Structure 1
Amino acid sequence: MECEHCHKHPATLHFTGYIHGNKHVQHLCHTCALEQGLIEQNDHYPIHDLLSDLFNFNKKITTQQNKLAEEMLVCPTCQMTEQQFVKNYKFGCKDCYEIFSSELEPVLKRVHNGNTTHTGKVPKKEYAYQSRRQQIKDYRLQLKALIDDERFEEAADIRDAIKALENDRTETKEDH
Protein backbone atom coordinates (compact mmCIF):
# COMPACT_ATOMS: atom_id res chain seq x y z
CA MET A 1 0.00 0.00 0.00
CA GLU A 2 1.41 3.39 -0.91
CA CYS A 3 1.36 6.59 1.11
CA GLU A 4 -1.92 8.48 0.64
CA HIS A 5 -0.15 11.85 0.89
CA CYS A 6 2.96 11.65 -1.32
CA HIS A 7 2.11 8.53 -3.36
CA LYS A 8 5.87 7.81 -3.60
CA HIS A 9 6.74 5.66 -0.60
CA PRO A 10 5.07 2.62 0.92
CA ALA A 11 2.69 3.38 3.80
CA THR A 12 4.30 2.16 7.00
CA LEU A 13 2.06 3.97 9.49
CA HIS A 14 -1.70 3.67 9.71
CA PHE A 15 -3.69 6.22 11.71
CA THR A 16 -7.32 5.74 12.68
CA GLY A 17 -9.40 8.54 14.12
CA TYR A 18 -13.03 9.38 14.67
CA ILE A 19 -14.32 12.80 13.63
CA HIS A 20 -17.97 13.51 14.54
CA GLY A 21 -18.58 9.78 14.85
CA ASN A 22 -17.13 8.97 11.42
CA LYS A 23 -14.10 6.72 11.14
CA HIS A 24 -11.17 8.27 9.29
CA VAL A 25 -8.14 6.15 8.31
CA GLN A 26 -4.83 7.47 6.94
CA HIS A 27 -2.04 5.33 5.48
CA LEU A 28 1.18 7.34 5.47
CA CYS A 29 4.89 6.87 5.01
CA HIS A 30 7.19 7.84 7.87
CA THR A 31 8.28 11.10 6.17
CA CYS A 32 4.72 12.37 5.58
CA ALA A 33 3.67 11.46 9.13
CA LEU A 34 6.62 13.52 10.43
CA GLU A 35 5.71 16.47 8.17
CA GLN A 36 2.09 16.43 9.35
CA GLY A 37 3.20 16.30 13.00
CA LEU A 38 1.52 12.99 13.66
CA ILE A 39 4.72 11.50 15.09
CA GLU A 40 7.91 12.86 16.62
CA GLN A 41 11.33 12.39 15.04
CA ASN A 42 12.41 9.96 17.77
CA ASP A 43 9.17 7.98 17.97
CA HIS A 44 9.75 4.24 17.92
CA TYR A 45 7.77 1.43 19.46
CA PRO A 46 9.59 -1.81 20.23
CA ILE A 47 7.25 -4.78 20.06
CA HIS A 48 7.58 -5.64 23.77
CA ASP A 49 6.56 -2.07 24.71
CA LEU A 50 3.58 -2.29 22.40
CA LEU A 51 2.49 -5.62 23.87
CA SER A 52 3.06 -4.37 27.42
CA ASP A 53 0.81 -1.39 26.74
CA LEU A 54 -1.73 -3.56 24.98
CA PHE A 55 -2.13 -5.92 27.94
CA ASN A 56 -1.71 -3.21 30.64
CA PHE A 57 1.44 -4.76 32.00
CA ASN A 58 2.85 -1.34 32.90
CA LYS A 59 0.48 -1.31 35.87
CA LYS A 60 1.89 -4.68 36.91
CA ILE A 61 5.47 -3.41 36.61
CA THR A 62 4.67 -0.48 38.91
CA THR A 63 3.16 -2.88 41.43
CA GLN A 64 6.22 -5.08 41.24
CA GLN A 65 8.55 -2.14 41.79
CA ASN A 66 6.83 -1.60 45.11
CA LYS A 67 7.54 -5.17 46.25
CA LEU A 68 10.40 -5.80 48.58
CA ALA A 69 13.55 -7.07 46.86
CA GLU A 70 13.46 -10.41 48.69
CA GLU A 71 9.92 -11.08 47.44
CA MET A 72 10.96 -10.77 43.79
CA LEU A 73 11.44 -13.94 41.80
CA VAL A 74 14.99 -14.37 40.55
CA CYS A 75 16.21 -17.14 38.27
CA PRO A 76 19.04 -18.91 40.11
CA THR A 77 20.78 -19.80 36.84
CA CYS A 78 20.87 -16.51 34.91
CA GLN A 79 19.89 -14.05 37.70
CA MET A 80 17.02 -12.60 35.64
CA THR A 81 14.49 -10.88 37.90
CA GLU A 82 10.72 -11.03 37.68
CA GLN A 83 10.72 -7.34 36.81
CA GLN A 84 13.10 -7.87 33.87
CA PHE A 85 10.97 -10.74 32.59
CA VAL A 86 7.70 -8.77 32.79
CA LYS A 87 9.30 -5.82 31.00
CA ASN A 88 10.79 -7.78 28.07
CA TYR A 89 8.92 -11.10 28.08
CA LYS A 90 12.12 -12.80 27.07
CA PHE A 91 13.74 -15.64 28.96
CA GLY A 92 17.37 -15.62 29.99
CA CYS A 93 17.78 -19.41 30.15
CA LYS A 94 15.84 -22.67 30.13
CA ASP A 95 15.19 -22.49 33.90
CA CYS A 96 13.28 -19.21 33.49
CA TYR A 97 10.32 -21.13 32.01
CA GLU A 98 9.78 -22.87 35.33
CA ILE A 99 10.70 -19.94 37.60
CA PHE A 100 8.39 -17.45 35.85
CA SER A 101 5.59 -19.89 34.97
CA SER A 102 3.16 -18.06 37.26
CA GLU A 103 3.80 -14.86 35.28
CA LEU A 104 3.66 -16.60 31.91
CA GLU A 105 0.35 -18.45 32.27
CA PRO A 106 -1.90 -15.33 32.40
CA VAL A 107 -0.14 -13.93 29.33
CA LEU A 108 -0.64 -17.15 27.37
CA LYS A 109 -4.30 -17.27 28.40
CA ARG A 110 -4.90 -13.74 27.12
CA VAL A 111 -3.00 -14.24 23.89
CA HIS A 112 -4.41 -17.69 23.07
CA ASN A 113 -8.07 -17.28 24.05
CA GLY A 114 -7.74 -19.09 27.37
CA ASN A 115 -5.60 -22.00 26.14
CA THR A 116 -2.29 -22.66 27.85
CA THR A 117 -1.32 -25.86 26.06
CA HIS A 118 -0.47 -26.30 22.42
CA THR A 119 -2.36 -29.09 20.74
CA GLY A 120 -1.25 -28.32 17.20
CA LYS A 121 -2.98 -28.97 13.94
CA VAL A 122 -3.96 -32.36 12.61
CA PRO A 123 -3.64 -33.23 8.91
CA LYS A 124 -7.01 -33.78 7.22
CA LYS A 125 -6.39 -37.45 6.56
CA GLU A 126 -5.55 -38.01 10.26
CA TYR A 127 -8.37 -35.90 11.70
CA ALA A 128 -10.93 -38.72 12.01
CA TYR A 129 -8.40 -41.01 13.69
CA GLN A 130 -7.18 -38.30 16.10
CA SER A 131 -10.73 -37.22 16.89
CA ARG A 132 -11.74 -40.80 17.70
CA ARG A 133 -8.62 -41.23 19.82
CA GLN A 134 -9.47 -38.09 21.82
CA GLN A 135 -13.05 -39.26 22.25
CA ILE A 136 -11.82 -42.61 23.62
CA LYS A 137 -9.55 -40.76 26.02
CA ASP A 138 -12.46 -38.59 27.21
CA TYR A 139 -14.68 -41.64 27.61
CA ARG A 140 -12.03 -43.39 29.72
CA LEU A 141 -11.92 -40.41 32.08
CA GLN A 142 -15.72 -40.50 32.35
CA LEU A 143 -15.61 -44.26 32.91
CA LYS A 144 -13.16 -43.88 35.80
CA ALA A 145 -15.33 -41.19 37.41
CA LEU A 146 -18.47 -43.32 37.04
CA ILE A 147 -16.75 -46.35 38.58
CA ASP A 148 -15.45 -44.24 41.46
CA ASP A 149 -19.02 -43.01 42.04
CA GLU A 150 -20.27 -46.61 41.80
CA ARG A 151 -22.59 -45.78 38.90
CA PHE A 152 -21.97 -49.10 37.19
CA GLU A 153 -24.88 -49.10 34.72
CA GLU A 154 -23.75 -45.81 33.19
CA ALA A 155 -20.16 -47.07 33.29
CA ALA A 156 -21.20 -50.12 31.25
CA ASP A 157 -22.68 -47.85 28.57
CA ILE A 158 -19.46 -45.84 28.39
CA ARG A 159 -17.42 -49.07 28.27
CA ASP A 160 -19.49 -50.25 25.31
CA ALA A 161 -19.00 -46.91 23.55
CA ILE A 162 -15.24 -47.22 24.04
CA LYS A 163 -15.24 -50.75 22.60
CA ALA A 164 -17.26 -49.59 19.59
CA LEU A 165 -14.85 -46.73 18.92
CA GLU A 166 -11.83 -49.01 19.33
CA ASN A 167 -13.31 -51.57 16.91
CA ASP A 168 -14.08 -48.81 14.42
CA ARG A 169 -10.50 -47.53 14.75
CA THR A 170 -9.09 -51.02 14.12
CA GLU A 171 -11.22 -51.45 10.99
CA THR A 172 -10.24 -47.98 9.72
CA LYS A 173 -6.51 -48.66 10.20
CA GLU A 174 -6.81 -51.94 8.33
CA ASP A 175 -8.51 -50.13 5.42
CA HIS A 176 -5.46 -47.86 4.96
Structure 2
Amino acid sequence: MANPLKCDLCSKPATVHLTQIVNNKVHKIDLCEACAQAKGVTDPSGFSLADLLLKASLNPEAATTGVRCEQCGFTQTDFKKHGRFGCPACYETFKGILEPMLDNMHKGTVHTGKVPQRALERKSLYDRLTKLEVDLSDAIKSERYEDAARCRDEINQVKQSVATKPSR
Protein backbone atom coordinates (compact mmCIF):
# COMPACT_ATOMS: atom_id res chain seq x y z
CA MET A 1 0.00 0.00 0.00
CA ALA A 2 1.30 3.47 -0.90
CA ASN A 3 2.21 5.94 1.81
CA PRO A 4 -0.48 8.57 2.33
CA LEU A 5 0.45 12.10 1.29
CA LYS A 6 1.59 14.40 4.07
CA CYS A 7 0.36 17.93 4.74
CA ASP A 8 2.71 20.50 3.22
CA LEU A 9 2.42 22.66 6.36
CA CYS A 10 2.51 20.26 9.31
CA SER A 11 3.25 16.76 7.88
CA LYS A 12 0.01 15.17 9.18
CA PRO A 13 -1.81 12.92 6.66
CA ALA A 14 -3.24 15.14 3.87
CA THR A 15 -6.96 14.95 3.13
CA VAL A 16 -7.36 18.11 1.03
CA HIS A 17 -5.58 18.30 -2.30
CA LEU A 18 -5.55 21.51 -4.33
CA THR A 19 -4.28 21.91 -7.87
CA GLN A 20 -3.75 25.32 -9.44
CA ILE A 21 -2.54 25.96 -12.97
CA VAL A 22 -0.76 29.28 -13.43
CA ASN A 23 0.89 30.15 -16.75
CA ASN A 24 0.61 26.50 -17.85
CA LYS A 25 2.47 25.31 -14.73
CA VAL A 26 0.75 22.93 -12.32
CA HIS A 27 1.08 23.72 -8.59
CA LYS A 28 -0.20 21.07 -6.17
CA ILE A 29 -0.80 21.59 -2.46
CA ASP A 30 -1.66 18.83 0.00
CA LEU A 31 -3.16 19.86 3.36
CA CYS A 32 -4.55 18.12 6.41
CA GLU A 33 -8.10 18.97 7.47
CA ALA A 34 -6.95 21.32 10.27
CA CYS A 35 -4.56 23.32 8.05
CA ALA A 36 -7.16 23.48 5.26
CA GLN A 37 -9.73 24.94 7.66
CA ALA A 38 -7.18 27.34 9.14
CA LYS A 39 -6.38 28.65 5.63
CA GLY A 40 -10.10 28.93 4.74
CA VAL A 41 -9.83 26.37 1.95
CA THR A 42 -12.84 24.31 3.05
CA ASP A 43 -15.04 27.38 3.60
CA PRO A 44 -17.23 27.68 0.47
CA SER A 45 -17.34 31.47 0.90
CA GLY A 46 -13.55 31.56 1.33
CA PHE A 47 -12.92 31.47 -2.42
CA SER A 48 -14.61 34.07 -4.54
CA LEU A 49 -14.37 35.16 -8.14
CA ALA A 50 -12.93 38.44 -6.90
CA ASP A 51 -10.07 36.58 -5.17
CA LEU A 52 -9.32 34.66 -8.32
CA LEU A 53 -9.38 37.73 -10.50
CA LEU A 54 -7.17 39.81 -8.27
CA LYS A 55 -4.50 37.28 -7.31
CA ALA A 56 -1.16 38.64 -8.38
CA SER A 57 -0.06 35.17 -9.42
CA LEU A 58 -2.80 34.97 -12.01
CA ASN A 59 -2.53 38.49 -13.35
CA PRO A 60 0.55 40.28 -11.99
CA GLU A 61 -0.11 43.62 -13.68
CA ALA A 62 -3.69 43.73 -12.40
CA ALA A 63 -2.76 44.12 -8.74
CA THR A 64 -0.47 47.08 -9.36
CA THR A 65 -2.36 49.17 -11.93
CA GLY A 66 -4.54 51.05 -9.41
CA VAL A 67 -7.47 51.29 -11.81
CA ARG A 68 -10.49 53.17 -10.45
CA CYS A 69 -14.01 53.28 -11.91
CA GLU A 70 -14.85 56.84 -12.98
CA GLN A 71 -18.57 56.36 -12.29
CA CYS A 72 -18.55 54.99 -8.73
CA GLY A 73 -14.91 55.22 -7.66
CA PHE A 74 -14.56 51.48 -7.04
CA THR A 75 -11.02 50.12 -7.04
CA GLN A 76 -9.74 46.59 -7.42
CA THR A 77 -9.33 46.47 -3.66
CA ASP A 78 -13.01 47.40 -3.19
CA PHE A 79 -13.96 44.68 -5.66
CA LYS A 80 -11.91 42.12 -3.72
CA LYS A 81 -13.40 43.26 -0.41
CA HIS A 82 -17.06 43.21 -1.54
CA GLY A 83 -16.91 40.45 -4.15
CA ARG A 84 -18.95 42.48 -6.64
CA PHE A 85 -18.66 45.61 -8.71
CA GLY A 86 -20.03 48.99 -7.67
CA CYS A 87 -21.86 49.86 -10.91
CA PRO A 88 -22.32 48.70 -14.51
CA ALA A 89 -19.43 50.92 -15.66
CA CYS A 90 -17.03 48.81 -13.55
CA TYR A 91 -17.34 45.99 -16.09
CA GLU A 92 -15.82 48.24 -18.74
CA THR A 93 -13.25 49.73 -16.36
CA PHE A 94 -11.98 46.33 -15.21
CA LYS A 95 -12.38 44.68 -18.62
CA GLY A 96 -8.64 43.97 -18.86
CA ILE A 97 -8.85 41.83 -15.73
CA LEU A 98 -12.19 40.18 -16.43
CA GLU A 99 -11.89 39.14 -20.07
CA PRO A 100 -8.84 36.87 -19.81
CA MET A 101 -10.27 35.17 -16.73
CA LEU A 102 -13.77 34.71 -18.19
CA ASP A 103 -12.30 33.51 -21.48
CA ASN A 104 -10.43 30.77 -19.60
CA MET A 105 -13.46 29.85 -17.48
CA HIS A 106 -16.09 29.82 -20.26
CA LYS A 107 -16.35 29.36 -24.00
CA GLY A 108 -15.95 33.09 -24.53
CA THR A 109 -16.60 36.48 -23.01
CA VAL A 110 -20.05 37.16 -24.51
CA HIS A 111 -23.20 35.56 -23.11
CA THR A 112 -25.38 34.36 -25.97
CA GLY A 113 -27.93 32.38 -24.02
CA LYS A 114 -30.07 29.61 -25.40
CA VAL A 115 -33.28 29.61 -27.39
CA PRO A 116 -35.80 26.77 -27.03
CA GLN A 117 -36.16 24.68 -30.20
CA ARG A 118 -39.91 25.35 -30.52
CA ALA A 119 -39.28 29.09 -30.37
CA LEU A 120 -36.73 28.78 -33.18
CA GLU A 121 -39.23 26.84 -35.27
CA ARG A 122 -41.96 29.46 -34.68
CA LYS A 123 -39.58 32.28 -35.58
CA SER A 124 -38.50 30.47 -38.72
CA LEU A 125 -42.13 30.01 -39.79
CA TYR A 126 -42.93 33.63 -38.95
CA ASP A 127 -39.94 34.85 -40.99
CA ARG A 128 -40.97 32.60 -43.91
CA LEU A 129 -44.54 33.94 -43.80
CA THR A 130 -43.33 37.54 -43.69
CA LYS A 131 -41.04 37.01 -46.70
CA LEU A 132 -43.81 35.28 -48.67
CA GLU A 133 -46.26 38.11 -47.93
CA VAL A 134 -43.73 40.70 -49.12
CA ASP A 135 -43.06 38.61 -52.26
CA LEU A 136 -46.81 38.32 -52.86
CA SER A 137 -47.26 42.07 -52.53
CA ASP A 138 -44.34 42.76 -54.91
CA ALA A 139 -45.65 40.22 -57.44
CA ILE A 140 -49.11 41.82 -57.44
CA LYS A 141 -47.68 45.34 -57.80
CA SER A 142 -45.56 44.30 -60.76
CA GLU A 143 -48.46 42.24 -62.25
CA ARG A 144 -46.65 38.87 -62.06
CA TYR A 145 -49.79 36.92 -61.31
CA GLU A 146 -48.27 33.43 -61.61
CA ASP A 147 -45.65 34.35 -58.98
CA ALA A 148 -48.41 35.88 -56.84
CA ALA A 149 -50.44 32.66 -57.07
CA ARG A 150 -47.35 30.59 -56.11
CA CYS A 151 -46.73 32.87 -53.10
CA ARG A 152 -50.39 32.65 -52.07
CA ASP A 153 -50.27 28.85 -52.24
CA GLU A 154 -47.07 28.71 -50.19
CA ILE A 155 -48.57 31.07 -47.60
CA ASN A 156 -51.58 28.78 -47.30
CA GLN A 157 -49.29 25.74 -46.94
CA VAL A 158 -47.28 27.37 -44.14
CA LYS A 159 -50.44 28.49 -42.34
CA GLN A 160 -51.88 24.97 -42.74
CA SER A 161 -48.72 23.39 -41.25
CA VAL A 162 -48.91 25.77 -38.28
CA ALA A 163 -52.57 24.92 -37.70
CA THR A 164 -51.97 21.15 -37.79
CA LYS A 165 -48.90 21.16 -35.49
CA PRO A 166 -49.76 19.83 -32.03
CA SER A 167 -49.38 22.30 -29.18
CA ARG A 168 -47.28 21.12 -26.27
| Shorter-chain TM band | 0.3 to 0.5
Greater helix share, 1 or 2? 1
Normalising to structure 1: TM-score of the pair? 0.41
TM-score normalized with structure 2 length: 0.42
Structure with the greater alpha carbon radius of gyration: 2
